């Protein structure tokens, strides 16, 4: 799992994050936005960064290389600069699977001398239509939460994320991740935007997550 600086550490498990988002746009347009280098350069960079696409071959087996550059190095994690150079995060990868309008699988790796960033990351994007957009949004927001568990908090310059589990009165459970954008990276920064993500936990997935949380709690209390 990454720590507060965004760096990883050794783990016996492969860490993974699942997010779900409803987008009011045709599925075809969303799919194309992942395969258009101009679109990627627009939506990929976080607040305070610019993107430069070095190469981009949107086909199965095709490779890509992208750099994200801080406008102000002070906005990098703890003001420590980028992963690749003083002000830049560069990653490269390849498209593993492309199913038009349905699924994108890519493998990505940071270019860094820091061993904390070593290793490939597999990213899978699954697209599906929603019958009723308004109903889908309501289902994501209108819930009766009986228990909220925060697993970790990650900060990155003027951006932060909190993830955990929501237990609902209905007995269902959701994994959540809330992403915050602040107006600066200082201690007195104010929240500008908050984007919530949620994904329902089903069966073994829910039991596995609860088991991991219980193990973490026991290790803290011993």
Average of pLDDT values for 107-117? 91
Give the model's pLDDT for residue 81: 83
* DSSP result, 32-94: HHHH-HHHHHHHSSPTTEEEEEEEE--STT-EEEEEEEESSGGGSGGG---SSSSSEEEEEEE
Confirm whether 132 is domain-assigned.
no
pLDDT (0 to 100) of residue 32: 96
Write the CATH number for 32: 3.30.530.20
**Domain-embedded: residue 171:** yes
Query: Are 110 and 40 contained in the same domain?
Result: yes
Domain-located, residue 9? no
Same domain, 117 and 148: no
Residues 34 and 107 in one domain: yes
Highest mean pLDDT among 6-10, 89-93, 119-123, 163-167: 89-93
CATH code of 164's domain: 3.10.450
Q: What percent of the chain has pLDDT over 70?
A: 73
Select from 126, 161, 184 the last residue of a domain: 126
The string of pLDDT tens digits covering residues 121-151 is: 999 898 888 765 556 555 555 556 778 787 8
pTM: 0.56
The residue-averaged pLDDT of 139-166 equals 76
If one counts the domains in the chain, the total is: 2
Of 126, 155, 173, the position where a domain reaches its end is 126
- Tens digit of each residue's pLDDT (9 = 90 or more) over 173-191: 878 888 888 877 666 677 7
Instruction: Look at residue 204 in the predicted model and tell me its pLDDT.
Output: 52
DSSP one-letter code for 174: E
In a shared domain, residues 64 and 98: yes
The verdict on residue 4 lying in a domain is: no
For residue 70, being part of any structural domain is answered with yes
Q: Are residues 121 and 154 in the same domain?
A: no
Instruction: Give the end of a domain, one of 92, 126, 160.
Output: 126
| pLDDT tens readout for residues 37-80 | 999 999 999 888 999 999 999 999 999 999 999 988 887 776 77
Q: Are residues 121 and 34 in the same domain?
A: yes
Say yes or no: 74 and 99 in one domain.
Answer: yes
Identify the domain containing residue 41 by its residue range: 27-126
Please report the pLDDT score of residue 35 as a whole number: 97
CB contact burial 133-168 (16+ within 10 A = b; e otherwise): eeeeeeebeeeeeeeeeebeebbbbbbbbbbbbbbe
> Would residue 13 count as lying in a domain?
no
């Amino acid at each position: 799992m990454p720590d507060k600086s965004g760096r990883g550490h050794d783990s016996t498990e492969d860490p993974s994050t699942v997010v779900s988002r409803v987008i009011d746009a045709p599925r075809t347009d969303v799919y194309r936005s992942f395969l258009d280098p101009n679109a990627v350069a627009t939506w990929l960079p976080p607040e305070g960064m610019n993107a430069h696409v070095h190469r981009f071959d949107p086909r199965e087996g095709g490779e890509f290389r992208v750099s994200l550059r801080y406008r102000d190095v002070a906005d990098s994690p703890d003001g420590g600069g980028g992963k690749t150079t003083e002000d830049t995060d560069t990653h490269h990868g390849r498209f593993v699977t492309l199913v038009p309008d349905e699924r994108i699988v890519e493998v990505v790796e940071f270019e860094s001398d820091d061993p904390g960033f070593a290793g490939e990351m597999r990213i899978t994007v699954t697209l599906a239509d929603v019958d009723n957009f308004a109903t889908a949004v309501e289902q994501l927001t209108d819930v009766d939460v009986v228990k909220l568990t925060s697993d970790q908090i990650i900060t990155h310059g003027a951006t932060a994320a909190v993830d955990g589990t929501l237990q609902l009165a209905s007995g269902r459970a959701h994994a959540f991740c809330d992403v915050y954008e602040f107006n600066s990276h200082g201690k007195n920064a104010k929240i500008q935007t908050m984007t919530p993500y949620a994904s329902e936990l089903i069966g073994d997935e829910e039991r596995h997550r609860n088991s991991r949380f219980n193990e973490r709690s026991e290790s803290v209390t011993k």
